Structure 1
Amino acid sequence: MNLNQQIERWLLSQRTQYAGSERPFVTLSYAQSWDGSITLQSGEPLALSGEQAMQLTHHLRSLHDGILVGIGTVLADDPRLNVRQWRGPDPQPVVLDAHFRIPPGARLCHLSDKRCWILTSADAICPDDSALEIIRLPGDSAGRVSLHEALRELKRRGINSLMVEGGANVITGFLQQQLVDAMVLTVAPRLVGGYKAVGDLGVADRTALPHISPVFTDRLGTDLIMWGQVKYDNQDNASSGEHA
Protein backbone atom coordinates (compact mmCIF):
# COMPACT_ATOMS: atom_id res chain seq x y z
CA MET A 1 0.00 0.00 0.00
CA ASN A 2 1.49 3.34 -1.03
CA LEU A 3 1.27 6.53 1.03
CA ASN A 4 -1.71 7.96 -0.84
CA GLN A 5 -3.71 4.79 -0.27
CA GLN A 6 -2.66 4.69 3.38
CA ILE A 7 -3.87 8.24 4.04
CA GLU A 8 -7.07 7.64 2.05
CA ARG A 9 -7.93 4.55 4.09
CA TRP A 10 -7.19 6.38 7.34
CA LEU A 11 -9.33 9.39 6.38
CA LEU A 12 -12.29 7.26 5.36
CA SER A 13 -12.10 5.34 8.64
CA GLN A 14 -12.15 8.62 10.59
CA ARG A 15 -15.24 9.88 8.79
CA THR A 16 -17.42 7.00 9.96
CA GLN A 17 -17.30 8.48 13.47
CA TYR A 18 -18.98 11.68 12.24
CA ALA A 19 -21.81 10.20 10.17
CA GLY A 20 -24.53 11.66 12.40
CA SER A 21 -22.93 15.06 12.96
CA GLU A 22 -24.74 18.30 12.10
CA ARG A 23 -21.66 19.52 10.25
CA PRO A 24 -19.25 18.03 7.70
CA PHE A 25 -16.13 16.12 8.65
CA VAL A 26 -13.37 18.74 8.27
CA THR A 27 -9.87 17.96 7.04
CA LEU A 28 -7.30 20.75 7.28
CA SER A 29 -4.55 20.38 4.69
CA TYR A 30 -1.83 22.78 3.59
CA ALA A 31 1.89 22.99 2.83
CA GLN A 32 4.46 24.89 4.86
CA SER A 33 8.21 25.31 5.07
CA TRP A 34 10.31 23.83 7.87
CA ASP A 35 9.98 27.12 9.77
CA GLY A 36 6.19 27.09 9.43
CA SER A 37 5.87 29.66 6.64
CA ILE A 38 3.14 29.45 4.01
CA THR A 39 3.97 32.67 2.13
CA LEU A 40 6.74 35.22 1.93
CA GLN A 41 6.66 38.15 4.37
CA SER A 42 5.38 40.29 1.51
CA GLY A 43 2.35 38.02 1.26
CA GLU A 44 3.44 36.82 -2.16
CA PRO A 45 2.36 33.21 -2.75
CA LEU A 46 5.04 30.56 -2.60
CA ALA A 47 4.96 27.09 -4.15
CA LEU A 48 6.32 24.74 -1.49
CA SER A 49 5.07 21.23 -2.30
CA GLY A 50 7.07 18.90 -4.51
CA GLU A 51 5.40 17.11 -7.40
CA GLN A 52 4.46 14.00 -5.41
CA ALA A 53 3.07 16.03 -2.51
CA MET A 54 1.03 18.10 -4.95
CA GLN A 55 -0.43 14.88 -6.36
CA LEU A 56 -1.36 13.90 -2.81
CA THR A 57 -3.15 17.23 -2.37
CA HIS A 58 -5.19 16.62 -5.52
CA HIS A 59 -5.93 13.07 -4.34
CA LEU A 60 -7.20 14.48 -1.04
CA ARG A 61 -9.40 16.95 -2.89
CA SER A 62 -11.01 14.09 -4.78
CA LEU A 63 -11.91 12.40 -1.48
CA HIS A 64 -13.97 15.33 -0.17
CA ASP A 65 -17.40 16.62 -1.11
CA GLY A 66 -16.30 20.23 -0.76
CA ILE A 67 -13.16 22.36 -0.58
CA LEU A 68 -13.02 25.71 1.23
CA VAL A 69 -10.66 28.68 1.19
CA GLY A 70 -10.93 32.27 2.36
CA ILE A 71 -11.16 35.28 0.09
CA GLY A 72 -7.53 36.15 0.92
CA THR A 73 -6.37 32.96 -0.78
CA VAL A 74 -8.52 33.74 -3.83
CA LEU A 75 -7.08 37.25 -4.13
CA ALA A 76 -3.49 36.07 -3.65
CA ASP A 77 -3.42 32.78 -5.57
CA ASP A 78 -6.45 32.75 -7.89
CA PRO A 79 -6.91 28.98 -7.31
CA ARG A 80 -9.18 26.62 -9.22
CA LEU A 81 -9.72 24.18 -6.32
CA ASN A 82 -10.34 21.26 -8.64
CA VAL A 83 -8.62 17.90 -9.24
CA ARG A 84 -6.00 17.99 -11.98
CA GLN A 85 -3.07 15.84 -10.89
CA TRP A 86 -5.16 12.86 -9.84
CA ARG A 87 -8.03 10.91 -11.34
CA GLY A 88 -11.14 11.60 -9.33
CA PRO A 89 -14.18 13.86 -8.90
CA ASP A 90 -13.88 17.59 -8.31
CA PRO A 91 -15.07 18.81 -4.91
CA GLN A 92 -17.59 21.63 -4.62
CA PRO A 93 -15.56 24.88 -4.36
CA VAL A 94 -16.54 27.14 -1.45
CA VAL A 95 -15.16 30.59 -0.59
CA LEU A 96 -15.56 32.43 2.72
CA ASP A 97 -16.06 36.02 1.61
CA ALA A 98 -17.94 38.05 4.21
CA HIS A 99 -17.87 41.32 2.25
CA PHE A 100 -18.07 39.84 -1.27
CA ARG A 101 -14.67 40.89 -2.56
CA ILE A 102 -14.19 38.11 -5.11
CA PRO A 103 -13.19 39.71 -8.44
CA PRO A 104 -15.29 38.84 -11.50
CA GLY A 105 -12.15 37.67 -13.29
CA ALA A 106 -11.26 35.05 -10.68
CA ARG A 107 -10.94 31.57 -12.12
CA LEU A 108 -13.47 30.28 -9.60
CA CYS A 109 -16.05 32.50 -11.31
CA HIS A 110 -15.61 30.65 -14.59
CA LEU A 111 -15.73 26.96 -13.73
CA SER A 112 -17.23 24.76 -16.42
CA ASP A 113 -18.99 22.15 -14.28
CA LYS A 114 -19.56 23.56 -10.78
CA ARG A 115 -20.81 26.95 -9.64
CA CYS A 116 -18.60 28.24 -6.84
CA TRP A 117 -20.46 28.80 -3.58
CA ILE A 118 -19.74 32.14 -1.90
CA LEU A 119 -20.45 32.23 1.85
CA THR A 120 -21.07 35.87 2.64
CA SER A 121 -22.72 38.01 5.30
CA ALA A 122 -26.39 38.90 5.28
CA ASP A 123 -25.74 42.57 4.47
CA ALA A 124 -23.02 42.12 1.83
CA ILE A 125 -23.64 43.90 -1.47
CA CYS A 126 -23.52 41.22 -4.16
CA PRO A 127 -24.00 41.75 -7.89
CA ASP A 128 -26.14 39.38 -9.90
CA ASP A 129 -23.77 36.76 -11.25
CA SER A 130 -24.99 33.46 -12.65
CA ALA A 131 -21.48 32.01 -12.36
CA LEU A 132 -21.64 32.09 -8.55
CA GLU A 133 -24.06 30.79 -5.95
CA ILE A 134 -24.32 33.33 -3.17
CA ILE A 135 -25.16 31.95 0.27
CA ARG A 136 -25.94 34.58 2.90
CA LEU A 137 -25.27 33.61 6.50
CA PRO A 138 -25.56 35.23 9.93
CA GLY A 139 -22.56 37.17 11.15
CA ASP A 140 -21.34 39.00 14.23
CA SER A 141 -21.27 42.75 14.93
CA ALA A 142 -18.21 43.09 12.69
CA GLY A 143 -19.97 41.42 9.79
CA ARG A 144 -17.92 38.24 9.94
CA VAL A 145 -19.43 34.95 8.79
CA SER A 146 -20.13 32.37 11.49
CA LEU A 147 -18.12 29.23 10.79
CA HIS A 148 -20.61 27.14 12.74
CA GLU A 149 -23.50 28.40 10.62
CA ALA A 150 -21.42 27.97 7.48
CA LEU A 151 -20.72 24.32 8.26
CA ARG A 152 -24.32 23.61 9.14
CA GLU A 153 -25.45 25.12 5.84
CA LEU A 154 -22.88 23.10 3.89
CA LYS A 155 -24.11 19.95 5.61
CA ARG A 156 -27.69 20.80 4.65
CA ARG A 157 -26.52 21.13 1.06
CA GLY A 158 -25.02 17.64 1.02
CA ILE A 159 -21.41 18.40 1.93
CA ASN A 160 -20.53 15.59 4.32
CA SER A 161 -16.76 16.03 4.09
CA LEU A 162 -14.91 19.32 3.67
CA MET A 163 -11.25 20.01 2.92
CA VAL A 164 -9.97 23.36 4.22
CA GLU A 165 -6.83 24.65 2.49
CA GLY A 166 -6.38 28.17 3.87
CA GLY A 167 -5.34 30.84 4.17
CA ALA A 168 -3.96 31.70 7.57
CA ASN A 169 -7.04 33.51 8.91
CA VAL A 170 -9.28 30.61 7.92
CA ILE A 171 -6.89 28.00 9.33
CA THR A 172 -6.65 29.89 12.61
CA GLY A 173 -10.42 30.42 12.78
CA PHE A 174 -11.23 26.75 12.29
CA LEU A 175 -8.70 25.73 14.96
CA GLN A 176 -9.86 28.43 17.39
CA GLN A 177 -13.42 27.18 17.15
CA GLN A 178 -12.43 23.51 17.36
CA LEU A 179 -13.86 22.65 13.96
CA VAL A 180 -10.95 20.64 12.51
CA ASP A 181 -11.26 16.86 12.77
CA ALA A 182 -8.21 15.68 10.82
CA MET A 183 -5.06 17.28 9.53
CA VAL A 184 -2.71 16.42 6.66
CA LEU A 185 0.37 18.64 6.64
CA THR A 186 3.10 18.84 4.00
CA VAL A 187 6.44 20.15 5.28
CA ALA A 188 8.88 21.22 2.57
CA PRO A 189 12.63 21.24 3.33
CA ARG A 190 12.98 25.00 2.92
CA LEU A 191 13.48 27.94 5.30
CA VAL A 192 11.43 30.96 4.28
CA GLY A 193 11.04 33.31 7.23
CA GLY A 194 7.61 34.25 5.98
CA TYR A 195 4.00 34.45 7.12
CA LYS A 196 2.88 31.61 9.38
CA ALA A 197 -0.18 29.42 8.86
CA VAL A 198 -1.52 29.50 12.43
CA GLY A 199 -2.07 32.70 14.38
CA ASP A 200 -3.05 33.31 17.98
CA LEU A 201 -5.55 30.65 19.02
CA GLY A 202 -6.66 32.63 22.06
CA VAL A 203 -5.99 29.76 24.45
CA ALA A 204 -4.67 30.89 27.84
CA ASP A 205 -4.25 27.37 29.23
CA ARG A 206 -1.52 25.53 27.33
CA THR A 207 -3.06 22.18 28.21
CA ALA A 208 -6.17 23.19 26.23
CA LEU A 209 -4.30 23.76 22.96
CA PRO A 210 -5.37 21.52 20.06
CA HIS A 211 -3.15 18.49 19.65
CA ILE A 212 -2.68 15.73 17.09
CA SER A 213 -3.02 12.14 18.28
CA PRO A 214 -1.98 9.74 17.00
CA VAL A 215 0.62 11.30 14.70
CA PHE A 216 1.63 9.56 11.47
CA THR A 217 4.60 10.62 9.37
CA ASP A 218 6.21 9.57 6.11
CA ARG A 219 8.34 10.98 3.34
CA LEU A 220 7.00 11.75 -0.10
CA GLY A 221 9.77 12.76 -2.45
CA THR A 222 11.70 15.48 -0.61
CA ASP A 223 8.70 16.47 1.54
CA LEU A 224 7.61 15.26 4.95
CA ILE A 225 3.93 14.34 5.25
CA MET A 226 2.33 14.40 8.71
CA TRP A 227 -1.28 13.47 9.46
CA GLY A 228 -3.49 12.63 12.38
CA GLN A 229 -6.68 13.32 14.29
CA VAL A 230 -7.07 16.77 15.85
CA LYS A 231 -8.23 16.65 19.45
CA TYR A 232 -9.35 19.30 21.93
CA ASP A 233 -9.29 18.72 25.68
CA ASN A 234 -12.41 20.86 26.19
CA GLN A 235 -14.13 19.82 22.96
CA ASP A 236 -17.44 19.05 24.66
CA ASN A 237 -17.56 22.57 26.08
CA ALA A 238 -16.65 24.46 22.92
CA SER A 239 -18.56 27.69 22.51
CA SER A 240 -20.07 28.96 19.28
CA GLY A 241 -17.89 31.61 17.67
CA GLU A 242 -17.56 33.79 14.61
CA HIS A 243 -14.92 34.19 11.96
CA ALA A 244 -13.67 37.07 9.86
Structure 2
Amino acid sequence: MRPKITWKVATSLDGRIGTSTGESQWITGPESRAQGHRLRAVHDAVLVGVETVLADDPRLNTRLPEGETGPDPLRVILDSRLRTPSFARLAKAGTLILTTKDPMQIGTAEVVRVAGDAQGRPTVEAVLETLSARGVKSLMIEGGGRVAASFITAGLVDAIEWFRAPILLGGDGRPGVAALALARLAHAPRYRRLAAEPMGDDLWERYEKVI
Protein backbone atom coordinates (compact mmCIF):
# COMPACT_ATOMS: atom_id res chain seq x y z
CA MET A 1 0.00 0.00 0.00
CA ARG A 2 1.44 3.38 -1.00
CA PRO A 3 2.00 6.18 1.53
CA LYS A 4 -0.61 8.89 2.01
CA ILE A 5 0.81 11.92 0.21
CA THR A 6 0.45 15.54 1.32
CA TRP A 7 1.75 18.52 -0.64
CA LYS A 8 2.79 21.34 1.66
CA VAL A 9 3.42 24.66 -0.06
CA ALA A 10 4.07 28.25 1.02
CA THR A 11 3.28 30.85 -1.63
CA SER A 12 2.40 34.44 -2.34
CA LEU A 13 -1.21 35.38 -3.08
CA ASP A 14 -0.55 34.69 -6.76
CA GLY A 15 0.83 31.20 -6.15
CA ARG A 16 4.56 31.92 -6.37
CA ILE A 17 7.16 30.18 -4.21
CA GLY A 18 10.01 32.55 -5.03
CA THR A 19 11.04 35.66 -6.89
CA SER A 20 12.33 35.66 -10.46
CA THR A 21 15.86 35.23 -9.04
CA GLY A 22 14.82 32.29 -6.86
CA GLU A 23 14.75 34.07 -3.49
CA SER A 24 12.22 32.28 -1.29
CA GLN A 25 13.22 32.65 2.37
CA TRP A 26 10.93 33.60 3.90
CA ILE A 27 7.67 34.14 2.01
CA THR A 28 5.45 33.24 4.95
CA GLY A 29 5.70 34.37 8.56
CA PRO A 30 6.95 32.61 11.71
CA GLU A 31 3.52 31.24 12.65
CA SER A 32 3.19 29.46 9.30
CA ARG A 33 6.72 28.12 9.54
CA ALA A 34 6.04 26.75 13.02
CA GLN A 35 2.93 24.98 11.73
CA GLY A 36 4.98 23.58 8.88
CA HIS A 37 7.31 21.99 11.42
CA ARG A 38 4.33 20.49 13.25
CA LEU A 39 3.29 18.93 9.96
CA ARG A 40 6.76 17.45 9.52
CA ALA A 41 6.51 15.89 12.95
CA VAL A 42 3.41 13.88 11.97
CA HIS A 43 4.77 12.56 8.66
CA ASP A 44 7.12 9.61 8.26
CA ALA A 45 9.07 11.30 5.44
CA VAL A 46 9.46 14.65 3.70
CA LEU A 47 10.56 14.95 0.08
CA VAL A 48 12.16 17.66 -2.05
CA GLY A 49 13.84 17.85 -5.43
CA VAL A 50 17.51 18.66 -5.80
CA GLU A 51 16.71 22.17 -7.09
CA THR A 52 15.31 23.00 -3.64
CA VAL A 53 18.47 21.65 -2.05
CA LEU A 54 20.68 23.78 -4.31
CA ALA A 55 18.57 26.92 -3.86
CA ASP A 56 17.75 26.79 -0.14
CA ASP A 57 20.12 24.25 1.50
CA PRO A 58 17.25 23.14 3.80
CA ARG A 59 17.52 20.96 6.89
CA LEU A 60 14.01 19.44 6.69
CA ASN A 61 14.12 18.51 10.37
CA THR A 62 11.53 19.28 13.01
CA ARG A 63 12.13 22.54 14.89
CA LEU A 64 9.16 23.21 17.13
CA PRO A 65 8.41 26.10 19.48
CA GLU A 66 9.71 25.76 23.04
CA GLY A 67 7.73 23.20 25.00
CA GLU A 68 6.71 21.16 21.95
CA THR A 69 8.48 18.02 20.78
CA GLY A 70 8.25 15.85 17.70
CA PRO A 71 10.38 13.39 15.73
CA ASP A 72 12.41 14.18 12.65
CA PRO A 73 11.03 12.56 9.48
CA LEU A 74 13.09 10.64 6.96
CA ARG A 75 14.44 13.25 4.55
CA VAL A 76 14.22 12.30 0.86
CA ILE A 77 15.86 14.04 -2.11
CA LEU A 78 15.05 13.30 -5.75
CA ASP A 79 18.40 13.85 -7.48
CA SER A 80 18.63 12.19 -10.88
CA ARG A 81 22.17 13.45 -11.64
CA LEU A 82 23.54 13.43 -8.07
CA ARG A 83 24.06 17.17 -7.79
CA THR A 84 23.54 17.30 -4.02
CA PRO A 85 26.76 18.79 -2.59
CA SER A 86 28.60 16.76 0.03
CA PHE A 87 28.59 19.89 2.22
CA ALA A 88 24.79 20.35 2.02
CA ARG A 89 22.97 20.29 5.35
CA LEU A 90 20.97 17.29 4.11
CA ALA A 91 24.07 15.26 3.20
CA LYS A 92 24.00 13.28 6.43
CA ALA A 93 22.50 10.24 8.11
CA GLY A 94 18.72 10.28 8.06
CA THR A 95 18.64 11.45 4.43
CA LEU A 96 17.81 9.20 1.50
CA ILE A 97 18.90 10.37 -1.96
CA LEU A 98 17.06 8.69 -4.85
CA THR A 99 18.84 8.81 -8.20
CA THR A 100 18.88 7.14 -11.60
CA LYS A 101 22.70 7.11 -11.73
CA ASP A 102 25.16 4.69 -10.18
CA PRO A 103 25.26 5.60 -6.47
CA MET A 104 28.23 7.45 -5.04
CA GLN A 105 29.00 8.72 -1.58
CA ILE A 106 27.49 12.11 -0.71
CA GLY A 107 28.39 12.99 2.86
CA THR A 108 26.86 10.36 5.12
CA ALA A 109 23.49 10.27 3.32
CA GLU A 110 22.20 7.01 1.85
CA VAL A 111 22.13 6.99 -1.96
CA VAL A 112 19.87 4.53 -3.78
CA ARG A 113 19.37 3.99 -7.50
CA VAL A 114 15.77 3.67 -8.72
CA ALA A 115 14.05 3.33 -12.09
CA GLY A 116 13.92 6.45 -14.25
CA ASP A 117 11.48 7.93 -16.73
CA ALA A 118 12.16 9.05 -20.31
CA GLN A 119 13.90 12.19 -19.00
CA GLY A 120 16.10 10.19 -16.65
CA ARG A 121 14.29 11.33 -13.50
CA PRO A 122 13.17 8.89 -10.76
CA THR A 123 9.68 7.66 -11.54
CA VAL A 124 6.92 8.38 -9.04
CA GLU A 125 6.17 4.65 -8.88
CA ALA A 126 9.78 3.75 -8.07
CA VAL A 127 9.97 6.44 -5.40
CA LEU A 128 6.82 5.23 -3.66
CA GLU A 129 7.83 1.58 -3.93
CA THR A 130 11.19 2.37 -2.29
CA LEU A 131 9.59 4.38 0.52
CA SER A 132 6.85 1.81 1.13
CA ALA A 133 9.51 -0.88 1.49
CA ARG A 134 11.02 1.24 4.29
CA GLY A 135 7.76 1.45 6.17
CA VAL A 136 6.84 5.00 5.13
CA LYS A 137 3.07 5.40 5.49
CA SER A 138 2.84 9.20 5.20
CA LEU A 139 4.87 11.42 2.89
CA MET A 140 4.93 15.20 2.71
CA ILE A 141 6.20 16.88 -0.46
CA GLU A 142 7.82 20.25 0.28
CA GLY A 143 9.35 21.31 -3.04
CA GLY A 144 9.70 22.25 -5.72
CA GLY A 145 7.20 22.98 -8.46
CA ARG A 146 8.32 20.22 -10.82
CA VAL A 147 8.25 17.57 -8.09
CA ALA A 148 4.78 18.66 -7.02
CA ALA A 149 3.56 18.57 -10.62
CA SER A 150 4.80 15.01 -11.15
CA PHE A 151 2.86 13.69 -8.17
CA ILE A 152 -0.24 15.77 -8.96
CA THR A 153 -0.24 14.60 -12.59
CA ALA A 154 -0.05 11.01 -11.39
CA GLY A 155 -3.16 11.65 -9.27
CA LEU A 156 -1.33 10.79 -6.06
CA VAL A 157 -1.57 13.96 -3.95
CA ASP A 158 -4.21 13.14 -1.35
CA ALA A 159 -4.08 16.39 0.63
CA ILE A 160 -2.74 19.93 0.34
CA GLU A 161 -1.50 22.15 3.18
CA TRP A 162 -1.29 25.62 1.63
CA PHE A 163 0.20 28.61 3.44
CA ARG A 164 -0.54 31.82 1.55
CA ALA A 165 1.29 35.06 2.37
CA PRO A 166 -0.26 38.51 1.71
CA ILE A 167 2.30 39.49 -0.93
CA LEU A 168 2.40 39.48 -4.75
CA LEU A 169 5.41 38.28 -6.73
CA GLY A 170 4.12 38.51 -10.29
CA GLY A 171 4.27 36.35 -13.35
CA ASP A 172 8.06 36.17 -13.38
CA GLY A 173 8.11 34.58 -9.91
CA ARG A 174 8.72 30.86 -9.45
CA PRO A 175 5.40 28.96 -9.67
CA GLY A 176 4.30 26.74 -6.81
CA VAL A 177 3.53 23.94 -9.28
CA ALA A 178 5.04 23.38 -12.69
CA ALA A 179 3.10 22.80 -15.91
CA LEU A 180 0.40 20.13 -15.78
CA ALA A 181 -0.24 20.16 -19.56
CA LEU A 182 -4.01 20.41 -19.17
CA ALA A 183 -6.02 20.94 -22.34
CA ARG A 184 -9.45 21.10 -20.66
CA LEU A 185 -10.81 22.24 -17.31
CA ALA A 186 -12.51 18.87 -16.96
CA HIS A 187 -9.08 17.27 -16.70
CA ALA A 188 -7.93 19.46 -13.80
CA PRO A 189 -7.28 17.66 -10.50
CA ARG A 190 -9.96 18.74 -8.03
CA TYR A 191 -9.72 19.26 -4.28
CA ARG A 192 -12.23 20.07 -1.56
CA ARG A 193 -11.35 22.76 0.97
CA LEU A 194 -11.58 21.45 4.51
CA ALA A 195 -10.56 24.54 6.46
CA ALA A 196 -9.06 27.99 6.20
CA GLU A 197 -7.71 29.93 9.14
CA PRO A 198 -5.43 32.90 9.78
CA MET A 199 -1.85 32.02 10.63
CA GLY A 200 -0.32 35.32 11.72
CA ASP A 201 -0.56 37.51 8.62
CA ASP A 202 -0.88 34.44 6.40
CA LEU A 203 -3.77 32.15 5.54
CA TRP A 204 -3.52 28.39 6.11
CA GLU A 205 -5.77 26.38 3.80
CA ARG A 206 -6.30 22.62 3.94
CA TYR A 207 -7.64 20.52 1.06
CA GLU A 208 -8.39 16.88 0.31
CA LYS A 209 -8.58 15.22 -3.08
CA VAL A 210 -12.04 14.77 -4.58
CA ILE A 211 -12.40 11.09 -5.37
Class of the TM-score when normalised by the shorter of the 2 chains: over 0.9
Shift of 1:125: 4.2
Partner Cα separation in structure 1 for residue 207 and residue 142 of structure 2: 16
Partner Cα separation in structure 1 for residue 89 and residue 118 of structure 2: 31
Equivalent residue pairs, number: 206
What one-letter code is carried by the residue in structure 1 that aligns with 2:45? G
What residue in structure 2 maps to residue 74 of structure 1? 53
Partner Cα separation in structure 2 for residue 99 and residue 61 of structure 1: 26
What residue in structure 1 maps to residue 14 of structure 2? 35
Give me the TM-score of the superposition, normalised by structure 2. Answer: 0.92
Query: Which consecutive unaligned segments of at least 5 residues does structure 2 have?
Result: none
Conserved 8 A contact 1:71-1:96: yes
Aligned CA RMSD, in angstroms, stands at 1.4
When residues 214 and 187 of structure 1 are mapped into structure 2, their CA distance, relative to the original with a 3 A threshold, is closer
What residue in structure 2 maps to residue 10 of structure 1? none
Shift of 1:196: 1.0
Partner Cα separation in structure 2 for residue 68 and residue 170 of structure 1: 9
Shift of 1:141: 3.0
1:175-186 equivalent positions in 2, closer than 5 A:
175-186=152-163
Question: Does 2:78 correspond to 1:96?
Answer: yes
The secondary structure found in structure 2 opposite 1:175 is helix
Partner Cα separation in structure 2 for residue 209 and residue 141 of structure 1: 24
Partner Cα separation in structure 1 for residue 193 and residue 17 of structure 2: 24
Partner Cα separation in structure 2 for residue 109 and residue 230 of structure 1: 33
Shift of 1:85: 2.3
1:57 corresponds, among 33, 36, 48, to 36
Partner Cα separation in structure 2 for residue 44 and residue 220 of structure 1: 22
Higher helix share: 1
2:208 corresponds, among 229, 236, 239, to 229
The secondary structure found in structure 2 opposite 1:45 is coil
Partner Cα separation in structure 2 for residue 29 and residue 61 of structure 1: 10
When residues 47 and 129 of structure 1 are mapped into structure 2, their CA distance, relative to the original with a 3 A threshold, is closer
Partner Cα separation in structure 1 for residue 19 and residue 193 of structure 2: 31
What residue in structure 2 maps to residue 161 of structure 1? 138
Query: Bigger CA drift: 143-152 or 60-69?
Result: 143-152
Report the identity percentage.
38
Which of structure 1's runs of 4+ aligned residues deviate more than 4 A? none
Query: Which consecutive unaligned segments of at least 5 residues does structure 1 have?
Result: 1-21, 233-244
Shift of 1:48: 1.2
Give me the TM-score of the superposition, normalised by structure 1. Answer: 0.80
What one-letter code is carried by the residue in structure 1 that aligns with 2:108? A
The secondary structure found in structure 1 opposite 2:90 is helix
1:193-212 equivalent positions in 2, closer than 5 A:
193=170, 194-212=173-191
Shift of 1:115: 2.6
Partner Cα separation in structure 2 for residue 66 and residue 58 of structure 1: 12
When residues 208 and 141 of structure 1 are mapped into structure 2, their CA distance, relative to the original with a 3 A threshold, is closer
